């Protein structure tokens, strides 16, 4: 039996052979939730495909029914009147970020609090901006704070990019910190770009979203609605910014798939229709939120039992970070940094993880918790066996 610091013992398979054929890879590197399509989504896709207009270009800004559904979602969340004219449909939230950044930051700087989604710096550069990494506040879960942003701000600063729960750490921005960030941005004329893709997976839901001269909201159905393969995102902006966003969409992807838009509209309408009273989510999202909370807790327990890796408990989101400083300090598997350790664990333990340094969080490994408990336990057993054997080898 093997156990990690403070963890319950993990039984290793009697068939485990460190020098035998590698078992099938357990890939925890990808951040997606895979579920069967809900009935209303399947029905909407079928209707769209059977339409005589199925092969036609949709309107450039997006189908009116989807833009209205997105506006209805934000109206329910914020209690404000939301004009669908401010909503532009994009080919996923990543494209939405690109279009939003191109609208406000071309030729200027964008502050990117670290840790951050690994693609942020590249998306900023592709949109014509210059990313400026700003370390988060170590006293507050590495979240961005106005003082650190102010220290990094220059006359060329156009925007700051935030998301909550944070990918990869799972830290969450509460209302007080978001109010402080909004006030700082408004006072300095810096655009706050809110990556809203994980909106339901935190302790508190942001209800103060108000696009205007200093705020743009980017969202989509990939994470909270588990529809990553549809590639439907959006940008919610004020009229001037919306026009600039649409210009970028027109000259990059053009209109997004009509049947996919119809399906996204169906799931958003169903979500809003099943909200009761002041409930922030409908039945489908509420179920997913509860399931992920359990999966995060089980993932923390499973990975606590792995020696030389220490879980950093997340407050929300779909990820868990493992502090690999002890494994790296010991030189296990010959790894000198988190990327080498990640590669070695993929090769030797058949467990796919992401290196924290790609997220501005060096010395850590990231895994997605949106897997079954059995899969997470098997991954923990493989990591335990691999790292234990590596430590024993160094001790010989």
Contact between 373 and 380 under an 8 Å Cβ cutoff? The reply is no
- Domain identity same for 108 and 245: yes
Query: Rounded mean pLDDT of 256-264?
Result: 95
Among 18-22, 26-30, 129-133, 175-179, which is the least confidently predicted range?
A: 18-22
Domain co-membership, 204 together with 112: yes
Which phi and psi angles does 307 have, rounded to 5°? Answer: -70, 150
Strands 130-135 and 364-368: unpaired
pLDDT band at residue 146 under the 50/70/90 scheme: very high
pLDDT at residue 2 is higher than 60? no
Rounded to 10 degrees, what is the CA torsion of 222, 53, 243, 133?
A: 20
In this structure, is residue 34 part of a structural domain? no
Q: What does the pLDDT average to over 284-309?
A: 96
Residue 235 above 70 pLDDT?
yes
Phi, psi of 322 (to 5 degrees): -115, 125
What is the reported pLDDT for 277?
Answer: 67
Task: State the pLDDT confidence band at 206, using cuts at 50, 70 and 90.
Answer: very high
Nearest to 114 by CA among 96, 100, 132: 132
Which of these three, 214, 246, 273, is where a domain ends? 273
Euclidean distance between CA atoms 131 and 109, whole angstroms: 6
Domain-ending residue, one of 273, 300, 316 = 273
Same domain, 107 and 247: yes
How many other C-beta atoms can be found within 10 angstroms of the C-beta atom of residue 61?
25
My answer on whether 94 and 212 are in the same domain is yes
Residues in contact with 278: Cβ distance below 8 Å, sequence separation at least 6, in sequence order: none
Residue 264 lies in a domain: yes
- Which tens digit of pLDDT belongs to each residue from 67-117? 999 999 999 999 999 999 999 999 999 999 999 999 999 999 999 999 999
Who contacts 54 (Cβ-Cβ below 8 Å, separation ≥6)?
A: 48, 258, 259
Q: How many angstroms separate the first and last alpha carbons of the chain?
A: 20
What confidence category does residue 308 fall into, taking pLDDT thresholds of 50, 70 and 90? very high
Decide if 321 is inside a domain.
yes
Same domain for 132 and 269, yes or no, is yes
State percent of the chain over pLDDT 90. 86
Residue 342 lies inside a defined structural domain of this protein: yes
The per-residue pLDDT for 4 is 38
Q: Which residues pair with 219 in a beta bridge?
A: 234
Mean pLDDT of all residues in 256-276: 90
Per-residue confidence (pLDDT) for residue 271, from 0 to 100: 86
Instruction: Tell me, yes or no, whether 113 lies in a domain.
Output: yes
Cβ(99)–Cβ(235) under 8 Å?
A: yes
DSSP for 4-68, written as a single string:
-TT---BPPPTT--TTSPPPPPEE--S-----PPPHHHHHHHHHHHHSTTTTSPPPTT--HHHHH
Pair (127, 54) in one structural domain: yes
Candidates 340, 305, 78; CA nearest to 211 is 78
- Rg of the chain on CA atoms, in Å: 22
Let me know whether 68 and 215 are in one domain: yes
CATH number reported for the structural domain that contains residue 209 in this entry? 3.40.640.10
Domain boundary among 239, 273, 307: 273
Whether residue 194 is found in the same domain as residue 337: no
Of 12-21, 58-67, 94-103, 373-382, where does mean pLDDT reach its minimum?
A: 12-21
In a domain, 196, yes or no: yes
Domain of 66, in residue numbers = 39-273
pLDDT of residue 5: 35
CA angle 177, 183, 189 (to 5 degrees): 135
- The CATH number of whichever domain residue 331 belongs to comes to 3.90.1150.10
Mean predicted confidence (pLDDT) in 265-280: 83
How many folded domains does the chain comprise?
A: 2
Question: In this structure, are 121 and 202 located in the same domain?
Answer: yes
Specify whether 235 is located in the same domain as 330.
no
Residue 288 shares a structural domain with residue 145:
no
Same domain, 288 and 157: no
Q: What is the pLDDT of residues 152-201, one digit of tens each?
A: 999 999 999 999 999 999 999 999 999 999 999 999 999 999 999 999 99
**Residue 20: its pLDDT value, please?**
60
| Nearest CA-CA partner of 130 in 112, 116, 117, 113 | 112
Establish if 1 belongs to a structural domain.
no
Between the alpha carbon of residue 184 and those of residues 179, 187, 263, 320, the distances in Å are: 9, 5, 38, 30
14 has pLDDT over 60: no
Q: How confident is the model at residue 203 (pLDDT cuts 50, 70, 90)?
A: confident
In the predicted structure, residue 275 carries a pLDDT above the cut 90? no
Q: Is the pTM of the predicted complex or chain greater than 0.95?
A: no
Residue 31 domain-assigned (yes or no)? no
Q: Quickly state the pLDDT bin for 41 (edges 50, 70, 90).
A: confident
């Amino acid at each position: 039996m093997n156990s990690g610091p403070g963890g319950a013992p993990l039984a290793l398979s009697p068939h485990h052979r460190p020098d035998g054929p590698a078992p099938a890879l357990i890939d925890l590197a990808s951040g997606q939730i895979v579920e069967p399509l809900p009935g209303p989504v399947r029905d909407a896709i079928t209707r769209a495909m059977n339409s005589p207009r199925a092969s036609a270009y949709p309107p450039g800004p997006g189908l009116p029914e989807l833009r209205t559904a997105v506006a209805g979602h934000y109206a329910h969340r914020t209690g404000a009147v939301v004009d669908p004219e401010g909503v532009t449909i994009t080919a996923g939230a990543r494209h939405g970020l690109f279009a939003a950044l191109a609208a406000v930051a071309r030729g200027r700087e964008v502050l990117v609090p670290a840790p951050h989604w690994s693609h942020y710096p590249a998306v900023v550069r592709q949109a014509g901006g210059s990313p400026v990494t700003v370390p988060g506040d170590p006293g507050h879960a590495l979240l961005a704070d106005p003082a650190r942003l102010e220290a990094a701000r220059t006359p060329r600063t156009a925007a700051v990019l935030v998301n909550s729960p944070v990918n990869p750490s799972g830290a969450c921005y509460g209302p007080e910190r978001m109010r402080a960030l909004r006030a700082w941005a408004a006072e300095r004329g810096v655009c706050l770009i809110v990556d809203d893709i994980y909106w339901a997976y935190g302790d508190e839901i942001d209800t103060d979203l108000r696009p205007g001269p200093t705020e743009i909201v980017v969202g989509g159905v990939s994470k909270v609605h588990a529809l990553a393969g549809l590639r439907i995102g959006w940008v919610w902006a004020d009229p001037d910014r919306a026009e600039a966003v649409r210009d970028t969409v027109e000259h990059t992807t053009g209109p997004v798939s009509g049947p996919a838009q119809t399906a996204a509209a169906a799931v958003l309408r169903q979500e809003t229709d099943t909200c009761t009273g002041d409930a922030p989510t409908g039945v489908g999202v509420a179920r997913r939120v509860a399931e992920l909370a359990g999966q995060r807790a089980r993932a923390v327990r499973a990975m606590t039992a792995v020696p030389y890796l220490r879980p950093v408990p997340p407050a929300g989101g779909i990820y868990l970070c493992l502090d690999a400083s002890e494994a790296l300090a010991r030189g296990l598997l010959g790894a000198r940094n988190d990327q080498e350790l990640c590669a070695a664990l993929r090769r030797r333990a058949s467990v796919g993880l992401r290196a924290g340094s790609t997220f501005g969080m060096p010395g850590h490994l990231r895994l997605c918790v949106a897997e079954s408990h059995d899969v997470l336990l098997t991954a923990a057993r493989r990591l335990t066996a691999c790292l234990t054997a590596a430590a024993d080898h160094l001790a010989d």
